[in-house]
Amino acid sequence: MGFSIVETYLNGIHLIKADAYEDDRGLFMESYHKDSFAELGITDEFVQENHSISALGVVRGMHFQWDKPMGKLLRVTSGRAHIVEIDIRKNSPTLGQHIHIELSAQDPYQLWVPAGFANGFMSMEHGTEMIYKCTAMYNPKAESGILWNDPALAIEWPVHEIDTEPILSPKDMQAQTLAEWLAKPESSIFHY
Report d(CA 181, CA 156) in Å as an integer. 21
pTM over 0.85: yes
pLDDT score for 27: 84
15-19 average pLDDT score: 95
Indicate the pLDDT class of residue 25, thresholds 50, 70 and 90: very high
Taking alpha carbons only, the member of 165, 131, 129, 169 closest to residue 147 is 169
Q: What confidence tier does 108 reach under pLDDT thresholds 50, 70, 90?
A: confident
Let me know if 63 is a catalytic residue: yes
**Looking at residue 150, what is its pLDDT?**
98
Task: Decide: 51 and 72 in contact? Cβ < 8 Å.
Answer: no
Domain of 153, in residue numbers = 3-189
pLDDT tens figures, 52-96? 999 999 999 999 999 999 999 999 999 999 999 999 999 999 999
Domains contained in the chain, number: 1
Give pLDDT, residue 182: 96
- What pLDDT digit, counting tens, does each position of 131-164 carry? 999 999 999 999 999 999 999 999 999 999 998 8
Of residues 14, 63, 82, 98, which has the active-site annotation? Answer: 63
Residues 35, 49, 37, CA angle at the centre, nearest 5°? Answer: 15
Share of the chain above pLDDT 90, in %: 91
**pLDDT (0 to 100) of residue 14:** 98
Catalytic residue among 14, 82, 98, 132: 132
Longest CA–CA separation in the chain, Å: 56
Phi, psi for residue 38 in degrees, rounded to 5: -60, -35
CATH number at residue 145: 2.60.120.10
Mean predicted lDDT score pLDDT of the chain: 96
Pick 1 or 38 by higher pLDDT: 38
3-state secondary structure of 107: coil
Q: Please give the pLDDT value at position 85.
A: 98
